[in-house]
């Protein structure tokens, strides 16, 4: 493989463009919608510590590995695995890794788009003043009524999928890059504003304490798995999204520095969301374990009662939709890149195919909140099952394989060359993490969940 190899889809115009796109992929519903509610369900502080440790010891080294694999091969994740397996003379079964990633992308996007649809609907609710002066009970009624309607959820899911496809159709430079350029900074500013509001509540200390004071007796084996799974989910790891973005990364960019920046931003955004939300949860007497509706039942109370709440409410949900869009485009990009490279499709055709499949799969999640809410497989609704299967199983398994491949199968001279670390010591640290720490940690968490440990 030569250093002059280029992706047929184009390249990011700069390091900054990659940072924006990869941060756009990482920062999304996972940080603002999912992190607070799973933290609430798993008892707070102890869960947050496990999550932070997983980001540092497993997420960051694997993110470097995934970016590196993509940049080396400059193709979609499936072809990346085929090319690199060939180059290393490794077993062909490694090819399945790329396939599993594409499958995980479809499954995640199918429910991600439904929840992003909720956020879109809340833009309209904020605009029409639905939250004005409302208390916790009224806001709960608004949420419950909304998710009880399959037609409404379908409408917003369809709209969100359409928006995703329209951006992805335009390709790397025009579509993806332009979209994320102004989204990320604005979201950040708005979150700070929400934190400022949370500081004005009497329960600010209680909220912060809940997030940062660990009580390990509240953390179950499944909680540990959820924390680890979320580290993968929030950093977009284990399914090829970061790999495919890495394949558009110019050669002269330092992978390690870039990855630290992206993972750092992602973590800060999640923590800010937590700090903004939990004081409101306690102030309004809500349950931290309220589940997927948590932010939709808390933040509107703040918007309904603060000065300028109408404006900030609209702005917040618009930003949330944009954050979701910059993630959803990365969930579908591996499949689209594969269809274009291998099936001779145009980007339009590839988007229509993959978008339609995801849209159809979304029905399972839509019905999980209403007509099929009692229909359970392994004690879970379809939405919960999809979430568990992807975030807790497919992404960690994918990440485990990426770690083993980058640490043990790929030739050291290639990884060293691609990563181009500032010094030998940092390369060695990465090698220890990717070879031993990350795979062992994933494995031990799995053993713990099945009860062997």
Interaction site with ligand PFF (CB under 6 A): 25-26, 28-31, 108, 233-234, 236, 239, 241, 327, 330-331
- Please identify, using beta-carbon distances, which residue of 67 and 236 lies nearer to ligand PFF: 236
CB 229 within 8 A of CB 445: no
Smallest gap from residue 24 Cβ to ligand PFF (A): 9
Compute the least distance from the CB of residue 331 to ligand PFF, in Å.
Answer: 5
Those residues with Cβ within 8 angstroms of residue 204's Cβ, 6 or more apart along the chain or in another chain: 198, 279
- Residue number with CB closer to ligand PFF (30 or 43): 30
Identify the DSSP state of 8. T
Q: Which stretch of DSSP H or E encloses residue 258? A: helix 255-283
The residue of the chain with the least Cβ separation from ligand PFF equals: 30
Contact 301, 136 (CB under 8 A): yes
**H helices of 284-308, where?**
294-305
For residues 80 and 77, give the distance between their C-alpha atoms in angstroms, rounded to a whole number: 5
Between 236 and 258, CB nearer to ligand PFF: 236
Longest CA span, the chain? 65
CB of 122 to ligand PFF, least distance (A): 17
* Minimum CB–partner distance for residue 239 and ligand PFF (Å): 5
Q: Buried b vs exposed e over 94-104: b needs ≥16 C-beta within 10 Å?
A: bbebbebbbbb
Pick from 45, 119, 53: nearest CA to 324: 119
Give me the count of residues in the chain: 453
Closest separation between CB of residue 329 and ligand PFF, Å?
A: 9
For residue 28, the minimal CB distance to ligand PFF (Å) is: 3
What backbone phi and psi angles, to 5 degrees, belong to 377?
-120, 130
Alpha-carbon gap, residue 66 to 412, rounded angstroms? 15
Of residues 31 and 384, the one with the C-beta less far from ligand PFF? 31
Q: How far is the CB of 33 from ligand PFF (least distance, A)?
A: 8
Token pair of 146 as six digits: 């909304």
Could you tell me the CA-to-CA distances from 80 to 85, 94, 111, 433 in Å, in that order? 8, 11, 27, 22
Report the residue number, 327 or 392, with the smaller CB distance to ligand PFF: 327
Name the residue nearer to ligand PFF (CB basis): 31 or 381: 31
Q: Is 153 within 8 Å of 372 (Cβ atoms)?
A: no
Question: DSSP labels for 376-423?
Answer: -BTTB-HHHHHHIIIIIIIHHHHHHHHHHIIIIIS-HHHHHHHH--SS
- Least separation in angstroms between residue 205's CB and ligand PFF is 28
CB closer to ligand PFF, 7 vs 234:
234
Residue with Cβ nearer ligand PFF (328 or 431): 328
User: With respect to ligand PFF, which residue has the nearer C-beta, 394 or 419?
Assistant: 394
CB atoms within 10 A of CB 424: 9
Distance of closest approach, residue 76 Cβ to ligand PFF, in angstroms: 13
């Amino acid at each position: 493989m030569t250093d002059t190899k280029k992706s047929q889809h184009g390249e990011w115009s700069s390091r900054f463009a990659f940072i924006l796109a990869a941060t756009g992929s990482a920062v999304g519903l996972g940080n603002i919608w999912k992190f607070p509610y799973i933290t609430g369900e798993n008892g707070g502080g102890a869960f947050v510590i496990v999550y932070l440790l997983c980001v540092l010891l497993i997420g960051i080294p694997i993110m470097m590995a995934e970016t590196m694999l993509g940049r080396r091969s400059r193709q979609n994740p499936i072809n990346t695995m085929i090319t690199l397996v060939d180059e290393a003379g490794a077993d062909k079964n490694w090819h399945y890794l790329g396939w599993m990633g594409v499958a995980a992308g479809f499954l995640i996007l199918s429910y991600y788009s439904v929840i992003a649809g909720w956020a879109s609907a809340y833009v309209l609710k904020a605009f029409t003043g639905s939250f004005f002066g409302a208390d916790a009970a009224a806001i709960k009624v608004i949420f419950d009524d909304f998710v009880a309607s399959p037609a409404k959820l379908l409408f917003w899911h369809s709209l969100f999928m359409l928006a995703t496809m329209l951006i992805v159709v335009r390709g790397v430079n025009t579509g993806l890059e332009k979209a994320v350029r102004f989204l990320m900074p604005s979201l950040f500013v708005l979150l700070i504003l929400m934190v400022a509001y949370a500081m004005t509540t009497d329960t600010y200390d209680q909220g912060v304490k809940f997030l940062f004071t660990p009580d390990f007796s509240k953390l179950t084996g499944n909680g540990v798995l959820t924390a680890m799974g979320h580290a993968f989910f929030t950093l977009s790891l284990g399914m090829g999204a970061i790999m495919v973005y890495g394949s558009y990364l110019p050669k002269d960019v330092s992978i390690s520095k870039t990855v630290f920046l992206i993972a750092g931003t992602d973590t800060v955004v999640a923590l800010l969301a937590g700090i903004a939300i939990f004081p409101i949860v306690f102030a309004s007497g809500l349950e931290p374990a309220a589940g997927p509706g948590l932010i939709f039942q808390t933040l509107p109370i703040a918007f309904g009662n603060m000065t300028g709440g109408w404006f900030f409410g609209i702005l917040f949900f618009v930003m949330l939709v944009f954050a979701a869009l910059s993630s959803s485009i990365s969930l579908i990009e591996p499949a689209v890149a594969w269809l274009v490279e291998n099936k001779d499709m145009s980007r339009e055709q590839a988007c229509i195919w993959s978008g339609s499949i995801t849209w159809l799969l979304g029905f399972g999640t839509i019905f999980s909140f209403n007509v099929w809410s009692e229909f359970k497989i392994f004690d879970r609704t379809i939405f919960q099952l999809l979430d568990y299967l992807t975030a807790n199983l497919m992404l960690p398994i994918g990440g485990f394989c990426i770690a083993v491949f980058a640490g043990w199968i790929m030739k050291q001279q290639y990884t060293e060359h691609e990563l181009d670390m500032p010094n030998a010591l940092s390369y060695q640290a990465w090698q220890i993490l990717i070879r031993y720490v990350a795979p062992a940690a994933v494995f031990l968490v799995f053993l713990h969940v099945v009860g062997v440990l």
